[in-house]
Amino acid sequence: MGVRVGIIMGSQSDWPTMKEAARILNDLGVEFETRIVSAHRTPDRLWEYGKTAVARGLKVIIAGAGGAAHLPGMMASKTRVPVIGVPIQTRALNGVDSLYSIVQMPRGYPVATMAIGAAGAANAGLMAAQILALEDPGLAARLDAWREALSASIPEEPQDD
């Protein structure tokens, strides 16, 4: 089916977190690409990526950034491809800076903002897959199985370590 999801991030240092989104998409058999695209350090790259996203067939963009996390919002301003934002956990402010930078978009340019850190990145992968599954019965079935397996893995009673 070709690449349908773009996973972009502001820095190499975001990759350990954003890998969680990649892992989910791999598990579900969704093709994706990964790119470092920084709102501040490579603004021309951001512009080009957003400008060509629709024509290249991308259906969802997952964008992770930390601190003054402008990447998801700027990408949302440049393309109508839905953008899922992942606030990276930062050392200075624990990711609250990233969260606030991503979530408070002005009316008209939404970013679907996930939780801070690894759980948010994994959920971004799942959210992207769920969007694609609306038009892809095979992926829908794989997602249903994934969710069943997660439920089945939760014990009914707490265990001692």
Integer angstrom CA distances of residue 19 from 7, 22, 57, 59: 9, 5, 22, 19
The smaller minimum CB distance to ligand RP5, of residues 66 and 125, is found at: 66
1, 13, 27, 52: which one binds ligand RP5 (CB under 6 A): 13
The smaller minimum CB distance to ligand RP5, of residues 81 and 88, is found at: 88
Q: Who contacts 112 (Cβ-Cβ below 8 Å, separation ≥6)? A: 82, 83, 84, 85, 127
Is 38 known to sit in a ligand binding site? Answer: no
Strands (E), the chain: 5-9, 32-36, 60-65, 83-87, 112-113
Nearest to 124 by CA among 116, 148, 107, 105: 116
Binding status of residue 89 toward ligand RP5 by CB under 6 A:
no
State the binding string over 38-77 for ligand RP5 (x if CB under 6 A, else -). Answer: x--------------------------xxx----------
Is 41 known to sit in a ligand binding site? Answer: yes
Which residues contact ligand RP5 (rule: CB under 6 A)? 10-11, 13-14, 38, 65-67, 88
Please give the annotated binding residues for substrate, written as ranges. Answer: 11, 14, 41
